[in-house]
Amino acid sequence: MSGRLRRALADLACRTLQATLPPSLQSWGWAVRCETAEIPNDTKALLFALGSLCGLMPRAVASLLLYPFASFIGDGALSSGGSLTMNVFDAAMRRPRVVGIACAIGSVALGLAYMAIAGAPARYLVINVGALVVGLTLLALLGRTTQTGQHPAYWTLTAMAGTLLDPGKSENAVDLAPWVQISAKAPPTLIIHAMNDPVDDIRHPMAYALALNNAGVPVDMRLYAKGGHAFGMRRTADPITTEWPAQVKQWLQTIGML
């Protein structure tokens, strides 16, 4: 590669960087271009320009992607002072409610997309949209406090949430949602669960185990009275934390894996 071509490529890299950088970072682009022009060695100039392009391009792309949201997260989020990450973080901290609303809408949108692809009944999609509307409504209500500092929307939250419950299912129902399908090709499964798990209700693994059994999939379920959630290898006074590794070994031997 001739020196002329290397210099031309270096100049192209600088121009590309300048064209990509937002206005608040244009001074960086000019600095890189001037510095590249001052390097007498064509190879070193090209390497410097390419290095600057690779180093600043992620920042430029991030600024372009965040620009449409500047009005939501607050003015100054894309300013040149301080790092972009910290600017956005500070702006988000100034308006946490907006960030929460954006996260809620994004989460519900992903959930709706998943259920639509999975073929969920239309009523479940409507319920999730209704839940989002209820949440946003209550967020607006809870932001308004009375002079005594009390939140009058508390009972509204309780009443509106109650309307979303499905009265057609009993408290101890262990049926999977209609759109959740268990394949007969699923592998043999071992389920170890603590009855006092505060995160995953005991009905969840029970419903899964029954569905596997109905599909003809070998399933082995071990229940313990205590153990909490995500006990893992952390030893506690609960027997589940010390016994489950042996339970897994015994199960693997039963299915011929060991």
pLDDT at site 200: 83
pLDDT at site 150: 47
If you ran DSSP here, which 8-state letter would residue 152 be given?
A: T
pLDDT at site 88: 52
pLDDT at site 144: 53
d(CA 209, CA 174): 10
d(CA 194, CA 229): 7
Longest dimension (CA), the chain: 80
pLDDT at site 215: 93
Q: Which long-range contacts (CB under 8 A, 24 or more apart) does 208-216 make?
A: 208/176, 208/182, 210/174, 211/176, 211/180, 211/182, 212/182, 212/186, 214/182, 215/182, 215/183, 215/184, 215/186, 216/184
d(CA 186, CA 25): 53
Report if pTM > 0.85: no
What are the tokens at 136?
């946003």
- In order along the chain (258 residues), what is the average pLDDT of each group of 10 residues? 80 84 77 85 85 77 59 47 51 59 74 74 76 71 50 47 46 70 91 90 88 93 91 87 93 92
* Residues 63/25, Cβ–Cβ less than 8 Å: yes
User: Tokens 């409504």 correspond to what residue?
Assistant: 137
pLDDT at site 199: 82
pLDDT at site 256: 92
Q: Where along the chain do its domains lie?
A: 3-68, 97-162, 189-254
pLDDT at site 245: 92
Residues 6+ apart with CB under 8 A from 100: 139
